[in-house]
Every structure is written in C-alpha cells, then in structure tokens.
Amino acid sequence: MIFDTHAHYDDEAFDEDREELLFGMQENGVECIVNAGASLASLPKILELTEKYSFIYGSVGIHPSETGELTIRDMEWIGEAARREKIVAIGEIGLDYYWPEPDREIQKRWFQMQLELAGEMKLPVIIHSRDAAADTLEILKEWDSHKVRGVIHCFSYSWEIAREYLAMDYYFGIGGVLTFKNSKKLKETVCHLPMERILLETDCPYLAPEPYRGKRNQSEYLIYVADKLAELKGISREKVLEITSNNAKSFYGIN
Ligand code: NI
C-alpha cells in the first residue's frame, strides 16, 4: 500500500474533481496521505480534509516563500491548529533562496520560530530547502539538541550533504524527480541511502513522475517512483512500498 508523505490536495489544481479523486484513492492502493501545509490560506482547507477523510492527516506550517507578511498572531493560530489530533507534523518550513524574496533574514527568523513550535509540541518537521544547503544545515544542526524527527522534503542536494542529515537521523523525501532522465545525482544519492530513511512523497499537484511528467500529480503515481527505487535497490515494488510505509508511520507516529 502507498503512503504519500507529502501532498497538497488543498491546491486549486484539485478544485474541479477533488472529491471524486480522493474517494477512489483507497481502492487504488493508497493507504494514507499527509497533506502538507504551505500557507496561511491552506490551513483551514487542510483541517477540513483531515476531518472529511479518515486516511488523510495533515501538517501545519508556512513555506519560506510565504513568510514575508507573517505575524506573531499567525504563529499562535498555527500553534493552535498543531494541537489537533490529526495534525502530525510542522511543515513545510525552511529556506528557499531560489527567489530573491522574502529577505533571507526574514526566512531564517520564521524558520527558527516554527522549529521552536515543533520542539514545544514534540512534532516532527517537514523541511523545504532550495538553493540554501549551507544555511539550512547550520540551523538544523544548532536545533538538533531538541531530538525531534525531521524529513528533508524533495531532497535535491549531494551525497555529502545527505551524510550530514543521516548522522542526525533525518529522513529523505523522495518523489517524481527520481524517475526523470536528468536526475543522475539524485539516483546516486538514493543508492547510498538506507531504505529505512526513505519516505515516498508526491508533492502533488507538482512533480509528477515519468510517464506523467509535466501533468498534474496524484498519490497513485507513487508506484512509478517505487518501481524506480526498487530497480536501484534491487528489491521488489511491494518491498519498497512496505518499508517506506512503515517508515512513514513511525516518522509521523501514525498506527
Ligand atoms: Ni510541498
């Protein structure tokens, strides 16, 4: 069974057929989904999804690109939402230097504030890090004494960076990019990673795997990522799904 550890079904890309898609999902082999938070606007939608569907859990947090206008009052609201039973993580939070805005210092401030919240709540964190390897690692190393679990979502850095996170017992979110022809670096990193540290994620509606690259992504498509992972690791698709699903359950504390 498929455990999608990072999806965005609150996204407007699903407005047309969200119910239809989600109602059929368990029959199509999807066991569980964690819908990741990204903006303040996504928060009420995520709470609604977790109430409506037994197999959907959620995380709450503000993506670095959305931190420009954030206030302390917003953080209190996030803190309240994080206390809900089906909210299982804080995220996605982190640093994104691909875009010039918001200012890096602003991103760092809210990243640290949200890490503090996760520490207080003893919730795992979902980390978004793009073109910001050194600063992300520095902040997470400082914060490591909290002993809270973390996953590097859509891991895209080198094996050298991966080793640093392995040493801190982090997990690695692996999705559609693994099936892309130009993802040689990621395939090499994945060959080195222990299976026990890998979580499957779609990041849907984005990053659909081959043969759906460029189209709208959905949780069922994770079988293509599982197949690529099975090929790289020399094990069966079933084994990949079993191990990654168990990893996800222990990461999020879901039975
Ligand atoms: Ni995401």
Q: How far is the CA of 159 from the centre of ligand 1 (A)?
A: 22
Q: How far is the CA of 6 from the centre of ligand 1 (A)?
A: 6
Q: How far is the CA of 27 from the centre of ligand 1 (A)?
A: 24
Cα 26 to Cα 246: distance, rounded to the nearest angstrom: 17
Q: What is the pTM of this model?
A: 0.96
Q: How far is the CA of 145 from the centre of ligand 1 (A)?
A: 26
Half-sphere exposure of residue 215: CA atoms within 13 angstroms, side-chain side: 8
Backbone angles phi, psi at 200, to 5 degrees: -85, 140
Backbone angles phi, psi at 2, to 5 degrees: -90, 135
Q: What percent of the chain is modeled with pLDDT above 70?
A: 100
Q: How far is the CA of 92 from the centre of ligand 1 (A)?
A: 7
Q: How far is the CA of 126 from the centre of ligand 1 (A)?
A: 9
What are the tens digits of pLDDT across the range 28-55?
Answer: 999 999 999 999 999 999 999 999 999 9
Q: How far is the CA of 142 from the centre of ligand 1 (A)?
A: 24
- Residues, CB within 5 angstroms of ligand 1 (ion): 203
Quick one: 16 exposed, middle or buried, by C-beta within 10 A (0-12, 13-18, 19+)?
A: exposed
Q: How far is the CA of 233 from the centre of ligand 1 (A)?
A: 25
What are the tens digits of pLDDT across the range 158-189?
Answer: 999 999 999 999 999 999 999 999 999 999 99
Per-residue pLDDT of the chain (255 residues; tens, 9 = 90+): 999 999 999 999 999 999 999 999 999 999 999 999 999 999 999 999 999 999 999 999 999 999 999 999 999 999 999 999 999 999 999 999 999 999 999 999 999 999 999 999 999 999 999 999 999 999 999 998 778 899 999 998 899 999 999 999 999 999 999 999 999 999 999 999 999 999 999 999 999 999 999 999 999 999 999 999 999 999 999 999 999 999 999 999 998
